[in-house]
Amino acid sequence: MIQPHRMMKAVYLHGPRDLRVEDADRRDVAPGTVAVDIEYTGICGSDLHEYEAGPVPIRAEGTDHSIPESDWDEHLPKPMGHEIAGTVSTVGENVEGIDVGDRVTLNMVAGCHDCRYCATGKYHLCEQGDGGVVSSRGFADRIVVPESMAVPIPDEVSLRHATLAEPLGVSLRGVRRSGLDSTDRVAVFGAGPIGLGVVAAAAAGGAREIYVSEPRAARREAAEALGADVVIDPTAIDAVERIKRETDRVEVSFECAGTATTLTDALRSTAYGETVVVLSVFEEEVSIHPNDIMQAERQLVGSFGFQGGPLASRSEFATVLDLIGDGRINPEPMITDTVPLDGVEAAFEDLRDPDSDQIKVLVEP
């Protein structure tokens, strides 16, 4: 039996719209691992997808990218929370380069180190990444992780802002995958945290002009604060027609909303021969017309996560932390609330409300 002093509180998903704060064992460090006292954990879009639909696999092409409800017992209850920043409290044997007291953010990509993708440094595409999106106990006051996941935070970056290294890393990878040039005009469809991160990363990368299509006023305002030149309410005006009228189509577009409409709009607002990047997690299949790709010779590019594993401290995380540190990205407009651990489920409900002004909510255990 686990002793009371060995327990802590953590958040687990038991099924769609069923989050519970429960007792969990307080794990010891092992060789090669570190314990981190968590200061903040962000609520991620993938967390919301699982809260809405149940456990969602990272890659499951053979089962239409879903886990059948009959198999949920294998994955539930599932620990939640993976956008984490905190302070190292204990280090295990054989840990080098991380010390007690270091402030870190966590890159939760591990990799099996044995498949074809890990062999070429693409740990985020590891073939073993086929379970739940992430199974980490980030909505808690402490977590134990491999040393490689702990990315040091520069002195000039706050723990609050470093918590957003994970979503901003996703966005930065998408911008890198696009091949963005400083002469390019950009369209972003969807201004949730990932779309807003794309705006910030594209602005930092010198994009010539940035258009954002987003129905929520608070998110349009955040997009402007992060560097958008033109924001469009697609419920009031046709975003594609506006973009085409002012630019004769952009060179790069980003789909960040996860709907059939925004995917088609991203394609049709992009110039012939240019690039569309998909960063959304789609909850279901959508239909597009293949001729929007073929006849226009557009490139449809997927972008998933960020580099991790042994590359964690040299990946998009490091670049994002540098961009925050030197002021080229200010994550503050994205952060709209901070809640205690027992306020997690209410925050999830608020985030899924289409009339809510919430964007990124941080949990402070």
The answer to whether domain 4-163+331-363 and domain 168-302 are alike in fold is no
Answer whether CATH 3.40.50.1000 is correct for domain 4-163+331-363. Answer: no
Section 68-82 average pLDDT = 85
Where is pLDDT greater, at 60 or 249? 249
Determine how many CB atoms are found less than 10 A away from the CB of residue 61. 8
Q: Are 26 and 142 in contact (CB under 8 A)?
A: yes
Section 251-277 average pLDDT = 98
Q: Between the ranges 6-10, 77-81, 110-114, where is the mean pLDDT highest? A: 77-81
pLDDT band at 3 (very low <50, low <70, confident <90, very high): very low
User: Is the bond into 77 cis (omega within 30 degrees of 0)?
Assistant: yes
CA 300/CA 277 separation, integer angstroms: 6
| For the chain, percent of residues with pLDDT exceeding 70 | 96
Those residues with Cβ within 8 angstroms of residue 178's Cβ, 6 or more apart along the chain or in another chain: 252, 254, 275, 277, 301, 303
Residue 24, classed as helix, strand or coil, is strand
- Does residue 198 surpass a pLDDT of 60? yes
What are the residue ranges spanned by the domains of the chain? 4-163+331-363, 168-302
- Does residue 82 surpass a pLDDT of 60? yes
Closest C-alpha to 211, from 235, 197, 230, 190: 230
Type of residue found at 188:
V
pLDDT of residue 1: 38
Class of 168-302 per CATH? alpha beta
Closest C-alpha to 134, from 84, 100, 168: 84
